[in-house]
Amino acid sequence: MQNYYSYVNFSIAFLCFFTNVSAQVIKGSVTDINKNSLSAKILIKPLNNPNLISEFVITSNGSFSYNLKKEYPMGFIIEVKSTGFKEAKEEIKDNDSSKPLLFEFILIKEKIEKLEEVIIKGKKKPFIRKKDTIVFRVDSYKDGTERKVEDLLKRLPGVEVDDKNGTVKYKGKSIETVTLEGDNLFDSNYTIGTKNINIDLVKEIEAIENYSENKLLKGIENSDKIILNLKLKDNKTDFSGSANVGVGDFSGSKEVASNNVVNLLGINKKIKSFSLATHNNIGVNPSPFNYFGNSFSAEQLREQDIFAKKIIPETILPQFANNNLSNINNQFFGNFNSTFNLSSKIKTRVNLFYITDKIKNNEFSESTITINDEQFSIFDDIFIQKKPRQYRGDVELKVNTSKNALLEYNVSYRNETIDTENSIFSNQGNNFSSNLGTKNQLIKQDVEFTKRISKDKALQFRLRNTINNLDQNFNISPSIFNNSEFINDVQKNASNKVLTSFNVILLGKKNKSKYNFVFGGNLDRESLQTNLFSQNDAVESSISNGFNDIKYRKNDFFSSGSYNWRLGRFFISPKYTLRFLNQNLEFIDNNTFDELSRIIFEPSISVLYYINDTSFLTLGSFISQSPNTVENLFTNQVITNNRLSKNNIPSLRLRKNQTYNLSYNNNDLSNQLNLSIGANYTITDGNFFNNTQIDEFNTITTNFFLSENTSNVNLYFNFSKLIYPIKTNIKINSSYSVLNFKNIINNSDLRDNRSTFLNNSIFLKTAFNLPVNIENTITHLYNINESQGIFENQSIENKLKLLIKPSKQFFVNIIYNLFVPDINSSNSFSFLESQLNYQPKNKNWQLSLSGINLLNERFFEQISTTDFSISRNRFNLLNRYILFNFNYSF
């Protein structure tokens, strides 16, 4: 061992000696013409690449001595720079690297000459980069057609707006919220602001990455949150607002088309507020609540675990066309949002909501079903009338108990009722009428305390409690059980969910790395009672196997931690969660009990590599285990409509999930280029599968747990680029996914199924300096389901928009939308709409005339496939209408 260490020491000494011997030495001095020593930089550049600084040294008292670290077979350049002096330069060629080089540089002072004033005028850059923030100048992206913030967001590079619900993504990632002058006025319901704030009030829109709302965590929180911040014009910060009155005529109807909106914005040093009142019957939804479609808001996705599950799903309608023509509504929405600075240490936010609507439609659905070489068809013609109503109030209080401590309290109360009446004509032989009444109440409370322990550490305590009561009463007449003694069937469901969670979090940083450790628990209590019975005026009779009474408890205690290393261009973020999960399921109706406890380890890691300032690669791997929900744990039947009843074979076994992803992203704002390419793979071991019994009149679905795999592969490609020579913006979006799953149909063996989905779209928009520009989007959808048979469908949609601006005061757009639900069929739907806008110069008002559904299409059709059927769904549309709008801003 001693010989080994002697050998290592000798090797190190030899290498150091050899390095010193082989390195060429440069020496010298730098002075002015009066022999005064100067402080200067000595730059070494290869002769064959004079723009590259290879090495450098700084003088000490006017002298320098330096051993060159590199060899320069082609020669090198020495440049000498000192503030206030002209630089000196010397080229070294045919150099003998074994000999030292001696230099004596004498620098001459620069002459200061008075120059005539030169004014350079140029176009402002449309955006500014400030560390983690991109500032978009609104005026650089406007073309005069925008009215609200959302209209402009659709034009910003890297920003995507979902046309169905208004949610926003930046660089492919969902934003947290939209703040107003730095204040989180709307929280998760930021679409109230983006859909309703006038763009004329906004000067800049900031996209802020790595955002921390809690200022005590700034710099130490490993945040991947993104927000948008609206910066208002200087003269729009006191009190402003707008009022829109829209009246018109529906073709073939005595009903008056209307769209009326009033909003007020008030800002001073202590208060920021935005209030809104709207009424319309033309399918517009200015609220964050979607009662007609199946898309979810950012808040709904974030809070889905605190709500009891609706066993009977609500009626949904597809969202289609530029205006949501399938939403035949009559909506009133009122909203008030405000932040108050009560003192230098106390701040509060209040959000109030009220919405009521009357949605109606006619849906005709027809399905061709093929099972085991047997084929039959079913149809339903349903007249729908849905009446939602919601009251809601949110209050947030922030108190800085000290300079380094913050206490936050949030409370939310929500009261929602939905009444849905259906008249149904079907192939079942009877005409049915049904009513679904849903009552949903929620109280949510959050307490959070943050203490900044030191410059590099902080401690947080969080406590949450939620109580959700959900009742659903479903009545259908006549009885679907073909019992002539009874007039109707009644399905009553009552759910209660109480969730209490607590966390202690330690956050910190060390050098360029950040970490956090969490200790906490979740106590989840959920109960479900269902009762199915038939009745007439005097008698009630329970249906066999129509009663459920269960209690499900889930206790989850965990510890998790993550560390974010920054190693050069690499960001490596490993994470772990270690949890103890205890589940118990009690069947009150038959006095049985099931319990399962597990210790679970869930690791994950993500690696991000910055290729340059605009592009990066990400690689991630995530492993988790998840329990089931009450909707898969009741045993006896529940009816949900005139055809379907469902039940389960309960199980407390866990789903084991593995997720892997790889992506490349390039967001080059200077060149107006956005590119993202990626792949995701998810495999789930163990899941609930369907055992479906289906005939011409009824469908009975039993969910059961099986230790089989379900897998999904998703590939995507998104590209956008402004092509300057032809002044055209192009966007290409493509996604391809394959889902492999299993089920049982009509007592078959376990079937292997594959569902493939392909979505391609190409968007083009010109920006010529001409009165006319065009915008066109073509979308192709392809879906194929393979099992014992093959069911496939392809649809195509083209949306052409003409933008005509003959002067600054007039603007016209014409939109033609062609939709082909099945390219193998000649059936197609055409939609035409136009809008004429007039805004006089230096006036606060404008006029517009809109024509929607001018070709007066009465319905449209969608085609969907499953592993055993092809279905056609036809929905009514709003009649053609002409709307005159007067808008006044103040």
CATH number at residue 229: 2.170.130.10
The mean pLDDT value for 779-804 works out to 93
Could you give the maximum distance between any two Cα atoms of the chain, in Å? Answer: 120
Closest to 208 (Cα-Cα) out of 200, 195, 198, 218:
218
Residue 49 CB: number of other CB atoms within 10 A?
12
Phi and psi at 190, nearest 5°, equal -70, -15
**197 within a domain of the structure (yes/no):** yes
Work out how many domains the chain is built from and give that number: 2
**276 within a domain of the structure (yes/no):** no
* Residue 92 clears pLDDT 60, i.e. is over it: yes
**877 within a domain of the structure (yes/no):** no
Q: Residue 19 — very low, low, confident or very high, per pLDDT cuts 50/70/90?
A: very low
Q: Please tell me whether residues 98 and 151 are part of one structural domain.
A: no
* Residue 106 clears pLDDT 90, i.e. is over it: no
pLDDT of residue 800: 95
Which one of 201, 236, 271 terminates a domain? 236
Which one of 72, 107, 142 terminates a domain? 107
Indicate the burial class of 764 (C-beta count within 10 angstroms; 0-12, 13-18, 19 or more). Answer: middle
Question: E strands along 251-358, which residues?
Answer: 256-267, 271-280, 331-341, 346-356
> From CA 709, how far away is CA 711, in angstroms rounded?
6
Q: Please tell me whether residues 70 and 159 are part of one structural domain.
A: no
pLDDT of residue 715: 97
Q: Please tell me whether residues 148 and 86 are part of one structural domain.
A: no
Lowest mean pLDDT among 46-50, 252-256, 605-609, 860-864: 46-50
**203 within a domain of the structure (yes/no):** yes
**336 within a domain of the structure (yes/no):** no
Closest to 127 (Cα-Cα) out of 112, 117, 141, 137:
137
- Summarised one tens digit per residue, pLDDT across range 443-455 is 999 999 999 999 9
Lowest mean pLDDT among 137-151, 355-369, 603-617: 137-151
| CATH classification at residue 42 | 2.60.40.2190
Q: Please tell me whether residues 95 and 138 are part of one structural domain.
A: no
Q: Please tell me whether residues 135 and 225 are part of one structural domain.
A: yes
Rg (CA), the chain: 34
Percent of the chain with pLDDT over 90: 59
The mean pLDDT value for 812-832 works out to 92
The mean pLDDT value for 495-508 works out to 96
Q: Please tell me whether residues 101 and 136 are part of one structural domain.
A: no
Q: Please tell me whether residues 97 and 35 are part of one structural domain.
A: yes
Q: Please tell me whether residues 145 and 92 are part of one structural domain.
A: no
Q: Residue 112 — very low, low, confident or very high, per pLDDT cuts 50/70/90?
A: low
* Residue 769 clears pLDDT 60, i.e. is over it: yes
Which one of 47, 79, 107 terminates a domain? 107
> From CA 257, how far away is CA 245, in angstroms rounded?
11
Q: Please tell me whether residues 76 and 162 are part of one structural domain.
A: no
CA separation, residue 457 to residues 221, 454, 561, 885 (Å)? 9, 5, 15, 56
pLDDT of residue 23: 64
**54 within a domain of the structure (yes/no):** yes
* Residue 463 clears pLDDT 90, i.e. is over it: yes
Q: Residue 772 — very low, low, confident or very high, per pLDDT cuts 50/70/90?
A: very high
Q: Which of 52-56, 191-195, 394-398, 766-770 has the highest mean pLDDT?
A: 394-398
The mean pLDDT value for 291-311 works out to 86
Q: Residue 237 — very low, low, confident or very high, per pLDDT cuts 50/70/90?
A: low
Q: Please tell me whether residues 93 and 177 are part of one structural domain.
A: no
The mean pLDDT value for 531-550 works out to 88
Q: Considering the entire predicted model, what is its pTM?
A: 0.83
Domain region containing 98: 2-107
* Residue 667 clears pLDDT 50, i.e. is over it: yes
* Residue 358 clears pLDDT 70, i.e. is over it: yes
> What would the DSSP string read from start to end of 83-151?
TTB--EEEEE-S--TTS-EEEEEEE-BPP-----------PPPSEEEETTEEEEEHHHH--S---BHHH
**161 within a domain of the structure (yes/no):** yes
* Residue 339 clears pLDDT 70, i.e. is over it: yes
Q: Which helix (H) or strand (E) holds 381?
A: strand 374-402
Chain-centroid distance of CA 626 in Å reads 23
**712 within a domain of the structure (yes/no):** no
Look over the chain and give the mean of its residue pLDDT values, rounded to a whole number: 89
* Residue 882 clears pLDDT 90, i.e. is over it: yes
Q: Which residue has the higher pLDDT, 111 or 764?
A: 764
DSSP 217: G
pLDDT of residue 124: 67
Q: Please tell me whether residues 158 and 85 are part of one structural domain.
A: no
The mean pLDDT value for 358-365 works out to 95
Residues 871, 872, 876: CA angle, nearest 5 degrees: 145
Q: Please tell me whether residues 165 and 210 are part of one structural domain.
A: yes
* Residue 794 clears pLDDT 50, i.e. is over it: yes
